[in-house]
Amino acid sequence: MKKILVIANWKCNHVTLKEAKKLFNSIVRGIKKIKGVEVVICPPFVYLQSLNPKPYTLNPKIGAQNCFWEEKGPFTGEISPKMLKNLGCEYVIVGHSERERYFGETDEMTNKKIKAAISAGLKPILCIGETEKELGSKKYELGKVKKYLKKQLENNLKGIPNSLFQIPDSLIVAYEPVWAVGTGKPCGISEAREANLFIKGIIKNVPILYGGSVNSENAAGYIKEAKFDGLLIGGASLNPKEFVEIVKNCSY
Ligand code: PGA
């Protein structure tokens, strides 16, 4: 049975370490007996070390929400992939739509981050997905979505040899329609399934996740019907009961 990957993206939440620890510990307790699902928690940078002191936990694993593309140097405010690796991070989210919306990040920047993350030994989770503007209307048109996803994959993966994807989990892709992120309007299961198959046709051997308004009621559909290899959860990952329920519903 294939392993399902469930990633929690806490974003900029929990203003004290105490709160972050409380949530982390509830999740650790809740997922203990669930089999077949690898859980990755991505807290704000400042909590990475405290939540996962050595020896590093196996489940959940720990990931970062972003990284820079240089290893070190005069880049005020940046965190390098190597620093994250040295803290026990295994995964890093790159290209999230909120990075584009609030910080003007481009596909070119994401491409550099992916390369840097891979060479530091991290597994990048690349987020792709269309905005409502790219759809051109509120109606979901698969043709337009496919064209956009193809372009995003080409830009983000430029210069990365296909042979690299033969190494298991060297890259993870999350299909996150931007209009579904944090809106409570998830993508329909059959539309998501088509997008999933389309991405899988372009990059083989790479786990494809779905993200965007996932909750405990719709989670199983993305795994069991739309055939995704996992989920990227934002809002619902802040509620331990709801998040554990999602993880449970993903296990076969
Ligand atoms: P959401 O966020 O689950 O709150 O829609 C998903 C994400 O931003 O990755």
Question: How many Cβ atoms sit within 10 Å of the Cβ of residue 121?
Answer: 14
Residue 50: which H helix or E strand, with range?
helix 48-51
Q: What are 235-251's pLDDT values in tens digits?
A: 999 999 999 999 999 99
Q: How far is the CA of 50 from the centre of ligand 1 (A)?
A: 24
Specify which residues 61 forms β-bridges with: 40
Provide mean pLDDT across the span 38-60.
91
Q: What are 53-75's pLDDT values in tens digits?
A: 887 878 899 999 999 999 999 99
Provide mean pLDDT across the span 35-59.
92
pLDDT score of 188: 95
Q: 23 Cβ partners below 8 Å, 6+ apart? A: 10, 14, 238, 240
CA dist., res. 226 & res. 212, Å (int): 14
Q: Which two tokens stand for residue 48?
A: 């990475």
CA dist., res. 114 & res. 117, Å (int): 5
Class of domain 4-250 as given by CATH: alpha beta
Is 14 designated active site?
Answer: no
pLDDT score of 139: 72
**Taking Cα atoms as reference points, which of 101, 108, 102, 246 lies closest to residue 179?**
101
Lowest average pLDDT, out of 33-47, 88-102, 139-153, goes to 139-153
pLDDT score of 209: 98
Q: How is the chain split into domains, by residue range?
A: 4-250
CA dist., res. 214 & res. 238, Å (int): 12
Residue with CA closest to ligand 1 atom 7 = 234
Residue with CA closest to ligand 1 atom 2 = 234
Q: Which residue has the higher pLDDT, 164 or 37?
A: 37
Provide mean pLDDT across the span 80-109.
96
Residue with CA closest to ligand 1 atom 3 = 234
What is the position in ligand 1's atom list of the atom closest to the CA of 213? 5
**Distances from the Cα of 197 to the Cαs of 43, 229, 235, 249, in angstroms?**
30, 11, 26, 22
What is the position in ligand 1's atom list of the atom closest to the CA of 181? 5
Instruction: Please tell me if the CB atom of residue 156 comes closer than 6 angstroms to any atom of ligand 1.
Output: no
Q: What are 118-170's pLDDT values in tens digits?
A: 999 999 999 999 998 877 766 778 889 999 999 999 999 999 998 888 888 89
Sign, CA dihedral 218-219-220-226, equals positive
37: confidence class by pLDDT, cuts 50, 70, 90: very high
CA dist., res. 129 & res. 248, Å (int): 26
Q: Which residue has the higher pLDDT, 53 or 230?
A: 230
> Does the pLDDT of residue 2 top 90, yes or no?
no
Specify which residues 233 forms β-bridges with: 8
Is 176 designated active site?
Answer: yes
6: confidence class by pLDDT, cuts 50, 70, 90: very high
- Tell me what the pLDDT averaged over the chain comes to: 94
1: confidence class by pLDDT, cuts 50, 70, 90: low
CA dist., res. 124 & res. 137, Å (int): 31
Helix (H, G, I), strand (E, B) or coil at 49: helix
